[in-house]
Chain A
């Protein structure tokens, strides 16, 4: 009996000793050695998504305009003296770009890049303006559908009636094509954007030119079949007053939080200024 007690006691004591060893555990919040506030990254991604990794841990995806979405994304926290950043192609997993940041560096800047789904380049290349001409090329993202689109200037002749639910009363629309049958997923060649020359049909109206996207086949407005949703924010020339300009317009039909689509457009010339 005494022997049994001894065994029993020994087992308990062994377990207690073994168990009580683990008192402090391992902290799950890592210790940060330094925070650098001079980190920046910019660029543009098309055709494929770029995945951003830091020290092997995926942090975020980039598609479209690469930018810092919060004010604190300019910070890098160093747990070690060096941070290794990799940009990978989501479709192939291939490392497209790699950069190391050191804790002693004053600034940690990623040079602006352009990735078209095939080639990763430093910056986006575009031609110089030719005289007073407005030239533009367009890229319609495939995510919005594969149907080709037309991009036109539409000059609205309207008057304003505050008593109506929609107070903008359009009485006439003049369509000036910029480019037709734009195939999603490809840049169009640079085309000249005409100066819209329209005269009023009625008195008491105003003219207002907009650039809109329509389905090439059905001629419906491209986004939610709505003119207002299908408008592109780009500059159009005015007769005699505009200097020459080049624009590279990227269009992407995106679904919003409220399940409605909206048209996101970027001018890559502005993203990659010379």
Chain B
């Protein structure tokens, strides 16, 4: 019956709700048969003689009508759906019996209405509903094996090892009784179970302090539910904040990167990298279902959260304090993403959505040649230009020399060019930007294997597809190699601008499953994400070396950078929990693989040449004398990281007198192995080449690579140092012992120590720049083992009040690639990003927090934190070559101190006015983070001793500055209405000044200016919630991302410091009147016609996005 309902919801609707219409239709249009003589209305008194042989229902009824003379009315279509064949031979059967035999085993029923019989569908029996939830103790720990009994029916269930339970009940109102040894039995009245719906009820059982006395606490459903919600929020032993799947669904967020900034103390860097409590992504650890995630950026240690669609997420919790059983150290927070696993009820949903961006959709969309399967997220082979065993031409081939003089002959180069392939894909071209589209199919099934005991099996599967096209507009770019200021302060056209075109296809496949009993639970989590992300940046402007002038630099050049990246993330995990009397064992095994293939990434530049009738933009090939990749090259970057992880822990519960305690010990092992392989193929021409590149479209350059005339050919100039490898592996092992004491009512102490071993082996470490070929990285890791103590204390003097304090020492380890000698130009930073070597950072964390839970779903909290970093690693802009532009590198500073306050509230507006009941469903919420940091920076100095040995030492800076990634002010505010059908949500997020890249003096320190984003959502449910529609508007204010540097024009040298040697910036300089470290636009000096003011290094507009989605729940 259930299947029938699922298959034909429209029939159900018609039959159940509009039977009178059917009747009318029956009477009017269909086979209304009127017998000429009605003999009787008492069917069991009318005897008939019937002879039916494999007759259909319709034929049988017509025969019965004819023989009995009773008028029978039916709806043709209703009968045609019945396949039953009737064989009945009886000479003395009552019409009633005949009718019942004909209709038996069908979905048909009969009714006697006045003088005729109506055949209609049987009413659908009500489906059972469910009560489900989690049973915890008053400290938030799961209580497995607890009994749940339904007073009215006597039926019951037991909680699984994770404390969850499910009861299937017919619709009605019940009283449930929860009991477990040594806990007070609790009765909850007025639990309403509705058809095919799950009623959530989490219960916090209270310890039975009165011994064996039979005490039953009785409370109403609402109150008990509230208590359960409280228990979850307030009973963790550490400080944490989070966001549930339900809260996420009320935002327009498509991926986790967009959601994280809604959690207290969390901000994101361009929606991809997470900053927690003002501490950059490097110091935050991400776990997916409890297992670490690999870094998705080769040069920076972070996880790009846009890999995980929010639709697959059950909740995200950010832990901000540490307990010894946490396997990985962090300073900012531990981001724990949990995807959906065993469902509490069966579900099947299909959703589809589309979105329009105000700056993208319907507009020009530029990019290089696409592949046939880009929309599916796969490469069609047109980007495959990197065959194996290419010849290194450096010093072995010169097109100006004869074959006799060259070690590698021209024909060999021509053959190699052919193997690499043509240039058809190169060159910017115009596409139309289509609206984004997304689809998802989710299925959840749960099976109860026993009606008396907790034996449940279930799985969740989800398949999602998303294609998004974005066009970020960059109205000014003055970073790194770009011109830093206009030549003439009053020339508004002297500005570098650009666009970043993003084409993203994401495929997600999730398959989670589990089995649970009262004492055991085994889960498996499997996630596969495939992303094709193609970022095409195109900037027009003038460089730092060649600024605008009225002669040969009247028009700016163009820099293009195409990065098609295919990423596969596969995580398989098996985990288990086993309750063996007083011992609870938890274990997990995970394997995570990340493959990232940037295929045919192209960097190209075009010079602007003003000729008589036009401005000619010509792609520039390199020359054989270029000491690097040159202006035009096509690259391949292959990154693979395999992580193997194992965790095991055992917790033993025991009592000492009236106090209860838990001893927990365990170990973890994480092995990472990374491979990076890059190949850069510069396209060059000979020194004296006369190839008319102005007249040849770049797509045809491949036709000039045969090398029949070497001097006048183009060719791929493969160089040894531009094609090389990196390989490293690390092992991170830890073991811990932890004690959890529930000492007094309301007092809990959790403390322990963790011993952690870390070893990083760099197996292959090639330089990717000629300049770095002979340099080496100094790696100052001096210890393999660290002992990391931690302690958390929670005191609840009042029922809904928590006072918390904690201390923990943590070690944050360098990423695998952070010690590589690989460097690469990043077009959006306008700079090369490279590494100077990084060592572990040790952090002392101190936290205090007060939490008050005034009502259901309501919270008021205030927290203070202090952190001391020993050797924090930060992103610096360095200018060791003294060229005024520098490069970006990661390096350790000496120390940093971060301190801050966090405030959060969430409150229902029900208290405002009782007579407006909808106000109870309106919640206002907000959080505020204030923080301050100071860093003692240091500059590495290299020196060669008289004996010729390379050494290094540090020069320490005496003036502290802010920590990289720090955001001193951060707040969120929101108002949400969740009605039965209508939902409205408005959120506002503000992040203050953020240190984007740091440096030893203001001219290198880049900040992000404050940014406020407002998002809105309207949702509406139709057909009893089966269809849900959502209209999201994100970035309502079209807020840009704006970055700046305190330009040297805003400060001046202090008198008397002209000849001071070894003076720091603060000794020598002071800001001019009207200028500070914050952003000041400044003015154009009327005398010099130069700008005096902060340099707006980059501004980026992402537009407003309007998205609409529709979900159908079967």
Residue A241 lies at the interface, judged by CB distance under 8 Å to chain B:
no
Residue numbers in B under 8 Å from A74 (CB-CB): 611-612
- In the complex the two chains form, is B611's CB within 8 Å of A75's CB? yes
- In the complex the two chains form, is A259's CB within 8 Å of B611's CB? no
Interface residues of B in 673-710 (CB under 8 A from A): 694-695, 697-699
Residue B430 lies at the interface, judged by CB distance under 8 Å to chain A:
yes
**How many residues in A have their beta carbons less than 8 Å from beta carbons of B?**
45
Residue numbers in B under 8 Å from A75 (CB-CB): 611-612, 616
Residue A166 lies at the interface, judged by CB distance under 8 Å to chain B:
no
Interface residue from B551, B613, B614, B699 paired with A70 (Cβ < 8 Å): B551
- In the complex the two chains form, is A70's CB within 8 Å of B610's CB? yes
Q: A32-B694, A259-B1087 are in contact. Are A69 and B550 (CB under 8 A)?
A: yes
- In the complex the two chains form, is B488's CB within 8 Å of A257's CB? yes
Residue numbers in A under 8 Å from B370 (CB-CB): 22-25
Residue of A nearest to B558 (CB): A29
- In the complex the two chains form, is B369's CB within 8 Å of A76's CB? no
- In the complex the two chains form, is A77's CB within 8 Å of B372's CB? no
Q: How many Å lie between the Cα of A103 and that of B7 in the bound state?
A: 71
Interface residue from B367, B550, B609, B1089 paired with A258 (Cβ < 8 Å): B1089
Interface residue from B432, B434, B611 paired with A77 (Cβ < 8 Å): B611
Residue B959 lies at the interface, judged by CB distance under 8 Å to chain A:
no
- In the complex the two chains form, is A8's CB within 8 Å of B439's CB? yes
Residue numbers in B under 8 Å from A28 (CB-CB): 366, 427-430
Interface residue from B428, B434, B552 paired with A29 (Cβ < 8 Å): B428
Residue numbers in A under 8 Å from B89 (CB-CB): none
Q: Nearest-CB distance from A49 to chain B (Å)?
A: 16
Residue B450 lies at the interface, judged by CB distance under 8 Å to chain A:
no
Residue B376 lies at the interface, judged by CB distance under 8 Å to chain A:
yes
Interface residues of B in 421-464 (CB under 8 A from A): 427-432, 434, 437, 439, 441
Interface residue from B350, B429, B695 paired with A26 (Cβ < 8 Å): B429
Residue of A nearest to B611 (CB): A75
Q: How many Å lie between the Cα of A1 and that of B371 in the bound state?
A: 34
Residue numbers in B under 8 Å from A108 (CB-CB): 612
Residue B338 lies at the interface, judged by CB distance under 8 Å to chain A:
no
Q: How many Å lie between the Cα of A16 and that of B439 in the bound state?
A: 12
Q: How many Å lie between the Cα of A55 and that of B612 in the bound state?
A: 12
Residue numbers in A under 8 Å from B375 (CB-CB): 16, 19-20
Interface residues of B in 343-385 (CB under 8 A from A): 350, 352, 366-367, 369-376
- In the complex the two chains form, is B430's CB within 8 Å of A25's CB? yes
- In the complex the two chains form, is A29's CB within 8 Å of B698's CB? yes
- In the complex the two chains form, is B616's CB within 8 Å of A8's CB? no
Residue of B nearest to A74 (CB): B612
Q: How many Å lie between the Cα of A15 and that of B552 in the bound state?
A: 47
Residue numbers in B under 8 Å from A34 (CB-CB): 695
Interface residues of A in 53-72 (CB under 8 A from B): 54-55, 57, 59, 68-72
Q: How many Å lie between the Cα of A74 and that of B1112 in the bound state?
A: 67
Q: How many Å lie between the Cα of A73 and that of B350 in the bound state?
A: 62
Residue of A nearest to B553 (CB): A70
Residue B946 lies at the interface, judged by CB distance under 8 Å to chain A:
no
- In the complex the two chains form, is A4's CB within 8 Å of B372's CB? no
Residue B473 lies at the interface, judged by CB distance under 8 Å to chain A:
no
Residue B465 lies at the interface, judged by CB distance under 8 Å to chain A:
yes
Residue numbers in B under 8 Å from A57 (CB-CB): 614
Residue of B nearest to A108 (CB): B612
Interface residue from B366, B609, B1089, B1114 paired with A72 (Cβ < 8 Å): B609
Q: A12-B465, A16-B375, A72-B611 are in contact. Are A77 and B616 (CB under 8 A)?
A: yes
Q: A1-B6, A41-B612 are in contact. Are A23 and B371 (CB under 8 A)?
A: yes
Q: A77-B614, A258-B1089 are in contact. Are A27 and B552 (CB under 8 A)?
A: no
- In the complex the two chains form, is A22's CB within 8 Å of B432's CB? yes
Residue numbers in A under 8 Å from B488 (CB-CB): 257
Q: Nearest-CB distance from A36 to chain B (Å)?
A: 8
Residue A156 lies at the interface, judged by CB distance under 8 Å to chain B:
no
Residue A83 lies at the interface, judged by CB distance under 8 Å to chain B:
yes
- In the complex the two chains form, is B697's CB within 8 Å of A27's CB? yes
Residue A11 lies at the interface, judged by CB distance under 8 Å to chain B:
yes
Residue of A nearest to B538 (CB): A28
Residue A39 lies at the interface, judged by CB distance under 8 Å to chain B:
yes
Interface residues of B in 1099-1113 (CB under 8 A from A): 1112
- In the complex the two chains form, is B613's CB within 8 Å of A76's CB? yes
- In the complex the two chains form, is B616's CB within 8 Å of A26's CB? no
Interface residues of B in 166-205 (CB under 8 A from A): none
Residue A33 lies at the interface, judged by CB distance under 8 Å to chain B:
yes
Q: A27-B429, A34-B695, A257-B487 are in contact. Are A76 and B1089 (CB under 8 A)?
A: no
Residue B1088 lies at the interface, judged by CB distance under 8 Å to chain A:
yes
Interface residues of B in 471-495 (CB under 8 A from A): 487-488
- In the complex the two chains form, is A29's CB within 8 Å of B427's CB? yes
Residue B1086 lies at the interface, judged by CB distance under 8 Å to chain A:
yes
- In the complex the two chains form, is B1088's CB within 8 Å of A259's CB? yes
Residue of A nearest to B616 (CB): A77
Residue B617 lies at the interface, judged by CB distance under 8 Å to chain A:
yes
Residue numbers in A under 8 Å from B1089 (CB-CB): 257-259
Residue of A nearest to B6 (CB): A1
Residue of A nearest to B435 (CB): A15
Residue numbers in A under 8 Å from B352 (CB-CB): 8, 11
Interface residue from A26, A29, A41, A73 paired with B617 (Cβ < 8 Å): A29
- In the complex the two chains form, is A33's CB within 8 Å of B695's CB? yes
Residue numbers in A under 8 Å from B619 (CB-CB): 29
* Residue interface mask A22-52, B partner, CB < 8 A = 1: 1111111101111100010100000000000
Most chain A CB within a 10 A radius of its CB, from B367, B429, B434, B613: B613
Residue A136 lies at the interface, judged by CB distance under 8 Å to chain B:
no
Residue A85 lies at the interface, judged by CB distance under 8 Å to chain B:
yes
Residue numbers in A under 8 Å from B465 (CB-CB): 12
Residue B467 lies at the interface, judged by CB distance under 8 Å to chain A:
yes
Q: Nearest-CB distance from B72 to chain A (Å)?
A: 32
- In the complex the two chains form, is A72's CB within 8 Å of B613's CB? no
Residue of B nearest to A31 (CB): B697
Q: A70-B552, A258-B1089 are in contact. Are A85 and B613 (CB under 8 A)?
A: yes
- In the complex the two chains form, is B366's CB within 8 Å of A16's CB? no
Residue numbers in A under 8 Å from B551 (CB-CB): 69-70
Q: Nearest-CB distance from B4 to chain A (Å)?
A: 11
Residue numbers in A under 8 Å from B1086 (CB-CB): 259
Q: How many Å lie between the Cα of A108 and that of B611 in the bound state?
A: 13
* Residue interface mask B535-562, A partner, CB < 8 A = 1: 0000000000000001110100000000
Residue of B nearest to A35 (CB): B694
Q: How many Å lie between the Cα of A41 and that of B613 in the bound state?
A: 11
Residue numbers in B under 8 Å from A1 (CB-CB): 6-7, 1114
- In the complex the two chains form, is B695's CB within 8 Å of A25's CB? no
- In the complex the two chains form, is A22's CB within 8 Å of B431's CB? yes
Residue numbers in A under 8 Å from B441 (CB-CB): 8
Residue numbers in A under 8 Å from B1114 (CB-CB): 1
- In the complex the two chains form, is B612's CB within 8 Å of A23's CB? no
Residue of B nearest to A255 (CB): B1089
Q: A8-B352, A70-B551 are in contact. Are A27 and B699 (CB under 8 A)?
A: yes
* Residue interface mask A139-174, B partner, CB < 8 A = 1: 000000000000000000000000000000000000
Residue numbers in B under 8 Å from A31 (CB-CB): 697
Q: How many Å lie between the Cα of A27 and that of B700 in the bound state?
A: 12
Residue numbers in A under 8 Å from B550 (CB-CB): 69
- In the complex the two chains form, is A25's CB within 8 Å of B612's CB? no
Q: Nearest-CB distance from B356 to chain A (Å)?
A: 15
Which A-B residue pairs are the 5 nearest by beta carbons?
A25-B429, A75-B611, A54-B613, A39-B612, A259-B1089
Other A-B contacts than A12-B439, A23-B370, 5 sampled, CB-CB below 8 A, are A1-B7, A16-B376, A28-B429, A29-B619, A41-B612
Task: Enumerate chain B interface residues (CB-CB to A < 8 A).
Answer: 6-7, 350, 352, 366-367, 369-376, 427-432, 434, 437, 439, 441, 465, 467, 487-488, 550-552, 554, 606, 609-614, 616-617, 619, 694-695, 697-699, 1086-1089, 1112, 1114
What are some 5 contacts across the A-B interface (CB < 8 A)? A27-B429, A28-B428, A77-B694, A257-B487, A259-B1086
Task: Enumerate chain A interface residues (CB-CB to B < 8 A).
Answer: 1, 4-5, 8, 11-12, 15-16, 19-20, 22-29, 31-35, 39, 41, 54-55, 57, 59, 68-77, 83, 85, 108, 257-259
